[in-house]
Structure 1
Amino acid sequence: MKRTGLSAFIALLVGALLSPQASAHPHGWIDLSVRVLTDDNGVVNGLHQTWRMDPFYSLLVFEELQQVENANLEQGLDQLGKEIRDNLARQHYMTEVRINNEPQALGEVSEYTAMERDGRLTFMFILPLETPQPLANATLTYQVFDPTYYLEVVHEEDGGQPRDNALVLHGEPDCELAILPADPDPELVMQAALLDKDESGEPGLGRYFAETGRIDCR
């Protein structure tokens, strides 16, 4: 691989990680945790998301960043974080949020960071709601998914069950929190399994394989 500079490598890497034209069955995964942000009045204003890229992609990132001329790992991660943020912005941050089943408009991400943590590439960001909404007597649900299903997004888990800290809410003790597993139609499962590496599935295929985070404050 010819080293043409950090910017060229970052562009290629982000394209491989989050390309909207990637093949449709998952070739990697992201471990997700979400903290729902509320103010003192129980009004939700955003989701603090932590994504941990799988070990293979993480290893690729760190090895390549270390070989880019005239750049250190910290500089590379800073630029990678910006490129990931910019790419995600074009895909609505791969996140859908609903309150009482009504879709919520999302704001622009301005707080984010990419880092190495325990050998994994970790991307953290705050995704604001365009208009903060009260949680009292309401139900908030969200899904985070790659529309192409190239990358599978799953909440952090132990022993096949979501961790207690995979979904966290502060300030509303009467709310019930749950992470609901995906339940795709068997035909869609077969469709995804049969896709070759050079084939793409229908737009939005990843939605059917997405877990749902739910905060019920009714």
Structure 2
Amino acid sequence: MPSCFRVIGRCLAVGLLSLGVPLGAQAHPHGWIDLSVRLILDDQGRVEALHQRWRMDPFYSLVLLEELGRAEGDEPMEARLDQLGLEIRDTLATQGYFTELSRDGEPLALGEVSEYTVMERGGRVEFIFLLPLAEPRPLGEATLRYQVFDPTYYIEVVHEADDRAPREDALVVASAYDCETRILPADPDPAKVAQAARLDITDEAPDGLGRYFAETGEIQCRF
């Protein structure tokens, strides 16, 4: 059973190299995740959780599924995907689930993920999970912002898009309240772009580089 997620990244590198794909000259990132987010509000207008769906890029999904298929044992693929989900969850827990959340600039503490699943759909591996806040927080008229990113920018995380524009269902609010949402594109400093371009597969990116390339989701509701 593949036991990594590096957090997704190193597995991807090893898998591609095993297929004879030359990576040494490639710059970061080495793969991507298509992201969808659903904000969960309770009946008091408090923020409870972010429901996230991550769709691994097609090539990395192929590598993962082939590795799972070659793993020793007679477990069905569904059980192997379940085990992979556990490993992904446990690894991401040490990385803050790649997620930063704030209310009018004030960071909000996140809880632990207990609801998650991994599945294959349309040839792509999907990791779906419910990321709760440490405790529900009132939103009021404040603006909620989040970013989801790999700190090392080994993997790029982008919202689901059509024709390079985020899809309407890439960020939604699960509530009866009147809420507005928008997804702001990343606007990295040219120096950060150049820094990322100089990194190849053998380099360790400085922790936090991914933040400069992260899209920002914004939600504001009227109660």
Q: TM-score, normalised by structure 2?
A: 0.88
Which residue in 2 is equivalent to 1:160?
164
Q: CA deviation at 1:170?
A: 2.5
1:70-85 equivalent positions in 2, closer than 5 A: 70=73, 71-85=75-89
Check if 1:143 corresponds to 2:147: yes
1:115-154 equivalent positions in 2, closer than 5 A: 115-154=119-158
Structure 1 pair 129–165 and aligned structure 2 pair: CA distance change class (3 A): same
Check if 1:49 corresponds to 2:52: yes
Q: CA deviation at 1:77?
A: 0.2
- How far apart, in 2, do the equivalents of 1:96 and 1:33 lie? 15
Q: TM-score, normalised by structure 1?
A: 0.90
Unaligned runs of 5+ in 1: 1-5
- How far apart, in 1, do the equivalents of 2:195 and 2:201 lie? 13
Which residue in 2 is equivalent to 1:201?
205
8 Å contact kept, 1:142–1:212:
yes
- Structure 1 SS opposite 2:5: helix
Q: CA deviation at 1:56?
A: 0.9
Which residue in 2 is equivalent to 1:14?
5
Q: Deviations over 1:76-127 (max 9, x none)?
A: 1000000000000000000000011100110000000000011100000000
Q: Percent identity?
A: 61
Structure 1 pair 64–146 and aligned structure 2 pair: CA distance change class (3 A): same
1:180-191 equivalent positions in 2, closer than 5 A: 180-191=184-195
- How far apart, in 2, do the equivalents of 1:56 and 1:84 lie? 18
Which residue in 1 is equivalent to 2:19?
none
Q: Deviations over 1:137-159 (max 9, x none)?
A: 11100000000000000000000
- How far apart, in 2, do the equivalents of 1:195 and 1:83 lie? 27
Aligned length: 207
- How far apart, in 2, do the equivalents of 1:164 and 1:176 lie? 11
C-alpha RMSD of matched pairs (Å) = 1.7
Over 6 Å off, 4+ runs: none
